[in-house]
Chains A and B, each alone.
Chain A
Amino acid sequence: MKQKPNMLGYKNEKTLGRMLVLPIFLLVFVLMGYPFINTLYISLTNKRVGYEPEFIGFKNYVRLLADPTYWLVLKNTFVYMFLAVGMKLILGMILAITLNEKFPGRAIVRMLLLVPWALPGMVAAMTWKWMYNDTFGIINSLLKNIGLIEVSIPWLSSKHLTLYSVIIVNIWRGVPFFIFSLLGGLQTIDGQMYEAAKIDGANVLRRFWNITVPSIFPVISITTMLSAIWTFNDFENIYLITGGGPINSSSVIATYTYQIAFQYNEMAQAVSVAVSIMPILILMILFASKRIGKED
């Protein structure tokens, strides 16, 4: 075949290269970049739905700092993130180590444990909401049947419990991601290292801390960081199960932002909430992207 002297040819590698990434460039810098920058501006205005915004400086942020609900929501978000991610890491590690052993039925077990991750988040949330139901829920009924409780536990109506109820659902749906990430890491460890440690008399726990953890530390940290970013910003799980209630006891940044924007119609105030967590988020994103970059 003859080489065609057009811009798709070999000579114009640079032009072709740029042309092919142009859609991605527009997507990232125009479609995502513009709203992102616009967010910062809107947070300095008094934008409400259907009204033109006026510049008001940092008033939204001042109001936020004086708002006790904001601090409660921020605290909830951190409790939600640390507890859920911590539990997902522990459970995911236990199950990954178990699945790394050879036993009959391993392939099918591995497939079944993946299912919660594949479900739409909405399905997971609604199913658990139904199971938690105060009157007809199966969880209370099961616990009564095996004699653990006599009075129904108000999973979704007690302000001391709701946050933990939604954390359980987040853990349920998120563990598979940890299992499969960590399992991928475990499979790269050389089995001879364990044999050598065994001969040296190291017990199971020592082998775990001295061989397993250091060997897959990069996988552990990237998995944890990704999960932390997603968990920190989880929305539908809480929105659908408790709506953030009762009295904001399970409200987190994402649901609170939505509530201010679409129930109180205070766009600018809502956006200032989102912007206020940006520093933490950017730190997490930079950390995670550095890890991902290293892998490449």
Chain B
Amino acid sequence: MAGTSLKRQKFLKFFLIYTVIAIALFFTLFPIYWMIKSSITPDDIMYTPRPSLFPERITFAHYKALFTETSFMRYFFNSVYVATITMVISMIISILGSYSMTRLRFRGRVFIMRSIILSYLLPVAVLFIPMYILMSKIGLNNNKNSLLIVYLTFTVPYSCYMLISYFRAIPKSLEEAALIDGCTHLQTLIRIILPIASPGIAVVATFAFTLSWNEYLYALVLTTSPSQQTVTIGISTFQFSDQYIWGLIMSSSVISSIPAVTLYLLAQRYLISGLASGGVKQ
């Protein structure tokens, strides 16, 4: 008797788990499915009041138009340019800074660490107007290079915050031995810490890249012409008078999601502990 009731309980538990998971997966994945499906649906069957749930006919016309008739390539290139350079600069600044804050003793260390956390939490919505005024003053309005400077204001605090916890987890004994042998601090950073922390550094770099890639508000106010705009801004301009061209918008959405989603999925193993310490910013 006890055996069957236990079996029943187990069955009920799995039933409950899979029901919750099925509903969650449907809500999570349906919009993504619909984005992809719309990107390969021909216009003549896209604009109907009762669109079919599954693709009846498939076309790559939207993708073709995207690359031949729009500035999408330009937007995409700008995004790659901005996100890559931002990532490299912020990793250099953050690695050196985090090393200093976790390994070197000097007055003001704790103060800097506190201000990093505060600036990490300060939202773009508060800073975007004064930042726009500042960039106009120094002649960088409508220039994608202004994004390189501005994006550091969120990638660096975020990267430092993450790197500090990675560096802290590395035992100091290795470096101490090297220091006694006559290595300089920077040599210990390059030869001892960096190799050990490299998986963590790769993950942080990934997120610095994605944060810049996905950014919207600064890009919206700081760049105005297609030659300077990034994908996030470019896509929302695919309109014909006030009609949105959904085929183009959905196909470009698919393409511009690929870099960030791929990087996230590759890094998701590390992400779980990172998120738990409040480590990822929208």
Contact = CB atoms under 8 A, between A and B. Distances in A.
Interface residues of B, number: 110
A181 B232 contact: no
A27 B31 contact: no
Interface residues of A, number: 107
Please classify the interface of chain B as helix (H, G, I), strand (E, B), loop, or mixed, using the class held by over half of its residues: helix
Given A111-B268, A223-B278, A289-B121, A127 B47 contact: no
A190 interface: no
Nearest to B48: A136
B121 A24 contact: no
A38 B130 contact: yes
Contacts of A285: 118, 121-122
A130 B213 CA distance: 22
Nearest to B246: A130
A23 interface: yes
Interface stretch (A13-21, A62-70, A159-167, A206-214): A13-21
B179 A24 contact: no
B121 A122 contact: no
A223 B275 CA distance: 9
Main secondary structure of the interface of A (DSSP, over half): helix
Contacts of B271: 114, 180
A158 interface: no
Interface string B238-277: 0000001010011001001100110111001001110111
A189 interface: no
A112 B106 CA distance: 45
Given A1-B182, A28-B116, A180-B271, A138 B34 contact: yes
A264 interface: no
A120 B256 CA distance: 8
Interface string B187-222: 100000000000000000000001001101100110
A240 to B, nearest CB: 6
Interface in A255-296: 257-258, 261-262, 267, 270-271, 274, 278, 281, 285, 288-289, 291-293, 295-296
Contacts of B32: 115-116, 119, 127
B100 to A, nearest CB: 4
A233 B126 contact: yes
Given A8-B186, A222-B278, A118 B265 contact: yes
A31 interface: yes
5 contacts: A32-B119, A34-B134, A122-B256, A175-B28, A185-B276
